[in-house]
Amino acid sequence: MDLVLNELSMDALAPSREEARNRVRTFLETLRSAFKYGVPRQLRTKEAFKDSLLAEKYSWWTWMNDPDVGKEEKQYLKALATRAPFLDGLPDAQEFADDCELFFDHHKAEGLKVAYLVDGLSVSLLSSSLWKSPSLPATLRELQENGSILERKVNIRHASLACHVENEHSHWIVSNLKESVANGAELLERFPTCFPSLALCDAVHEHMRNLPVHIVPTFFRGLRCLEEYCQSWKSGGFNLADLGCRSTSEGQTAKVKYGIERTYLCPDGIKRTFTYHVKLGNPWRIYYDPAPGPGKMYIGFVGRHPRNKHDK
């Protein structure tokens, strides 16, 4: 699980050094609250994070050398592992980060986008009333494989106060960490319990067992996204725009030329050509079909992207 800095919260400078110190103190209290529940002690940030200003002529570096800041607070920040740029060490997330943009309050928000894509928790300096909420409504614009733009509303998990973590996110954090799986075989074993709304086609079992260990958490997040959608899908048809993760439908060329490679025997005994897929970063995909819905889906394939028009 990742904590991701909302860089927009750094834009409004504090009117005084005293207020800057108060903001950092509140920020560190928020981080401590998350770490208490087992979140790794690191923060994803923009580049040159500590060079950023907190107040006029008062940067994070200045704060760390400020005699009016307690030694314990300074040591706590120095011990915090920072990862910059935001997607450092996450090459599998780079593909879909490049293909989408996220806007909050009409501003492009890189940190909030990354928090959404990696299913993490965005954290902010309490520099504005905008950041007083434990959930931030945003607009995600995604480039689809057919060249069109899909725009949808999403909510970003967020904290700028320790109480946001305690009251709103602690259960999610604990559940998220408990649900982590070591490998594909364990994911398959726990599948019925973790994803009761999703039914696996026979071919998926072997593919899931053989998933590389490093990518299994990413597949878990993608499957959980489908499960959460199914649990809220009570009536009506499937709506791709309401899905809480990056997903698209196969382009016409792939449907016609490579449809047979996307055709799987479903648990009801019917063969279906799967066109919907969750994009987990190049080259990983989850192919699903909402045919048994509302509230249910078939999973036809997990693994590397099947052949398409880009393959020779």
pLDDT of residue 261: 80
The pLDDT score that the predictor gives to residue 264 is: 92
pLDDT in tens, 261-275: 889 999 999 999 998
Q: Which amino acid is at 21?
A: R
pLDDT of residue 65: 93
Which pLDDT score, from 0 to 100, does residue 96 have? 66
Distance CA 125, CA 20 (A): 10
Average of per-residue pLDDT values in the chain: 88
**Rounded Cα distance, 276 and 283, in Å:** 15
Cα(5)–Cα(24) distance, integer angstroms: 13
Predicted local confidence at residue 145, as pLDDT: 67
Q: One digit per residue, pLDDT tens: the chain, 312 residues? A: 789 999 999 999 999 999 999 999 999 999 999 998 888 888 999 888 889 999 999 999 999 999 999 999 999 888 888 887 777 776 666 666 777 899 999 999 999 999 988 889 999 999 999 999 999 999 988 877 667 788 888 899 999 999 999 999 998 888 777 667 889 999 998 898 889 999 999 889 999 999 998 888 888 888 989 998 999 999 999 998 888 777 888 766 666 676 788 899 999 999 999 989 998 877 889 999 999 989 999 999 999 877 655 554
